Chains A and B, each alone.
Chain A
Amino acid sequence: MERHVKLSRFTRAGSAVTVGVLALTLAACNPDAAEPGTETSESAAAELTGEFAGAGASSQESAMAAWTATFGAQHPDVTINYAADGSGAGREAITAGTVAWAGSDRALKDEEITETAEYCGPDGAWSLPVYVSPIAVAFNLPGVETLNLTPDTVAKIFAGTIKTWNDPAIAADNPDATLPTTAVVPVHRSDDSGTTENFTDYLAATAPDVWTWEPDGVFPEDIGGESAGQSSGVIGVVESTEGAVTYVDASKVGAGIGTAAIKVGEEFVAYTPEAAAAAVDASPLAEGRHEHDLSYEIDRTTTASGAYPIVLVSYALVCSNYSDEATGTFVKEFVGYIASAEGQEVSASEAGSAPISSDLQGKVAAALEAITVG
């Protein structure tokens, strides 16, 4: 899906309504945003104009909608189109140079960086983490709000070997919970997704005895079981089905749905934005990359206290060099805004992501600073 924010020209009667709504919404999060007509004079600090395209991961889509709306309010002459065609399409687009930046649920591989050199300068494209989302293990059991689960138990649930909720494996870690005899209905994503890739990566790393499948964006189809497309699809099935359980971007978990605390080291950690950010900080950067490339290799088996290792890290792929000055300036400004404390706050409140740590914010800002233009 593509998001447009264009506050400069209104040629249609219909858009007036949209603008009114937009202005109202923005007024809530940004006190500077006044009437559409008057805001141009005060907030257009940087003279950004033009139309810029991005493409890529659909995981960033709802955050991107909020980012483009708020950024657009500050820079009314900028039109931003983000096409959520999937991470693969995003990587392809930045390689071909058809977009200013791209969103991707994984960092570029070494050979992909080489391929981007043609459009992005000799250093190629950099992967900057801008969107961190904890992946919750969410279930529908009336009266049960949280469960302690070990990685092995989670793997058994999704491999289909645990059939009922009062299974001894679950009961052992939850002595206080009253577990029903309801059948376990595991629900997985039917589409190719970064969420599935990160989740299966976690299972393969932490429960190798149970989870014998390779990490992949497509859920192993020989397991079978209930499935649905998109995060909203799987959570929709869970909401309507008692006993259903799924892995889903935590932002989608609504009221009445329980979530699991996962065993990390010796303790059980519930997903929180802080715990997800902690897991990112506890992970090493990929080796042998440019100093400003911030590709994380998430350490799923981390034992760091309070870290929640089932996280999806989604990146902004930006060029290290932009031959077009306007595009380069825009990317510095826009991605800088996304990765700023303000931008991360917007996505946390509107898309439920986990704000990246201020340390990481600094690193992203430094990387953007190092982008050369012209």
Chain B
Amino acid sequence: MTTTDSPPAPAAVRPRQRRSGDTERGFSRVFRWISTGAGALLLGVLAAVALFLIVRAFPAFTAGAEQLHDAGKVPGSFGSLLGYVGPLVFGTLLASVLALVVATPISVGIALFISHYAPRRLASIIGYVVDLLAAIPSVVFGLWGVYVFSGLVGDLWVWFADVLNLILGANVEASPTGRSLATASLVLAVMILPIITAVSREVFLQTPKLHEEAALALGATRWEMIRTAVLPFGRSGVISAAMLGLGRALGETMAVLMILSPGLSYSFQIFDSGRHTTIAANIASRFPEANGLAIDVLIATGLALFVITLAVNMLARWIVARRKEFSGAN
């Protein structure tokens, strides 16, 4: 990989390498091949995902506007595949970024709570409870979002929109059903809390104790210590945690599918329903009854999602990897 220009192999490894060369006879060599093959297979799987998606999506790239509409079920006013993918990507990004904006500060708060505020005994229990959130299947989140949450926040959004319109003279529309992007984003935010919290917590715990103690010795309050020692140290870690959360939110399907009232437009009316949908939710809702070119079109949108999440994740992992090299952590 070009992105991982790593330092020369640590010297400590070298003795073991020589020894393994010495003892590697007969089945040992076969075993090495097998396990190396498994590693290579893993890269092959990733390549295969990209390859098969491209192959299946190819007919959608080459189809004409008429074909796309008739057989591909691309709605009438979008003449081309790009015109169709555009609002989908917009909706996906908008929902995920909103979720991220909500989730990141809360996650950092929880991570700080676990690493620097809660009593040590309590901290591990709390960590487990937050992990519990991650263990809940997304379809259950969807069920809860539909039956419980959207009803609660629907009225709140209407009130919120009224207030905004009154004070700012804005033209905010809100749906009383609560099946809007804002609701879906909030549920997404809850779903990505655990991963952002987990990564941030690890980073905060790695803060050099000396820095913290030095800050406290200078008379800093706990918050000042965190602001001057912990947060600067953990900044890149929090950024990459947020990127990982973003990647998770981008691909989340069921909660969005069940909560959101779908629509296809470039609109910032996040409290109104029928404006947005996400790529993943759109695929899951249309795929079971699609056939022929319509499947190819959906796979093409899936390819777009794959490329976006791949880019976000690679960026996040690259930041993590770079940070590891600099800090000597892990």
Contact = CB atoms under 8 A, between A and B. Distances in A.
Interface in B179-196: 179
A227 to B, nearest CB: 5
B291 A89 contact: yes
Interface in B146-180: 151, 175-177, 179
B263 A227 contact: yes
A212 to B, nearest CB: 11
Contacts of A244: 177
A225 B274 contact: yes
Contact of B179 (A192, A214, A216, A226): A226
A224 B285 CA distance: 18
A213 B289 contact: no
A224 B291 contact: no
What's the dominant secondary structure at chain B's contact region? loop
Contacts, number: 85
Contact of A85 (B77, B179, B288): B288
A227 B274 CA distance: 6
Interface in B281-300: 285-286, 288-292, 294
Contacts of B290: 86, 88-89, 192
A88 B263 contact: no
A213 B274 CA distance: 18
Contacts of A226: 175, 177, 179, 261, 273-274
Contacts of A240: 151, 177
A225 B76 contact: no
B300 to A, nearest CB: 17
A224 B73 CA distance: 17
Nearest to B263: A224
A85 B291 contact: yes
B75 A221 contact: yes
A242 B289 CA distance: 31
Interface string A66-104: 000000000000000000111011001000000000000
Contacts of A88: 289-292, 294
Contacts of A229: 262, 285
Contacts of B286: 191-192
A86 to B, nearest CB: 3
B264 interface: yes
A30 interface: no
Contacts of B294: 88, 192
B201 interface: no
B76 A224 contact: no
Contacts of B67: none
A241 B75 contact: no
A224 B265 CA distance: 8
Contact of A224 (B151, B274, B292): B274
Interface in B267-286: 273-275, 277, 285-286
B179 A86 contact: no
Contacts of A48: none
Contacts of B291: 85-86, 88-89, 92
Contact of B177 (A191, A221, A241): A241
Given A224-B263, A224-B275, A228-B261, A216 B76 contact: yes
A320 B311 CA distance: 54
Contacts of B179: 226, 228, 237
B91 to A, nearest CB: 12
Contacts of B77: 220-222
Given A226-B274, A227-B274, A237-B177, A58 B289 contact: yes
B235 to A, nearest CB: 41
Contacts of B262: 190, 227, 229
Interface in A196-243: 213-214, 216-218, 220-222, 224-229, 237, 240-242
Contact of A192 (B73, B76, B261, B264): B73
A256 to B, nearest CB: 17
A83 to B, nearest CB: 10
A264 interface: no
B175 to A, nearest CB: 6
Contacts of A360: none
B166 to A, nearest CB: 18
Contacts of B263: 190, 221, 224-225, 227
Contacts of B273: 225-227
A151 B261 CA distance: 26
B175 A185 contact: yes
Contact of A218 (B73, B288, B292): B73
Given A221-B76, A221-B264, A241-B176, 14 more contacts: A88-B292, A92-B292, A190-B261, A190-B277, A192-B290, A220-B76, A224-B275, A225-B273, A226-B175, A227-B274, A228-B179, A229-B262, A237-B179, A237-B261
CB-CB nearest 7 A-B residue pairs:
A86-B289, A88-B291, A89-B291, A221-B75, A190-B262, A225-B274, A221-B264
24 contacts: A58-B289, A84-B289, A86-B289, A89-B291, A190-B262, A190-B263, A191-B286, A191-B289, A192-B289, A192-B290, A217-B73, A221-B75, A224-B263, A224-B274, A226-B273, A227-B273, A227-B274, A228-B261, A229-B262, A229-B285, A237-B261, A240-B151, A241-B176, A241-B177
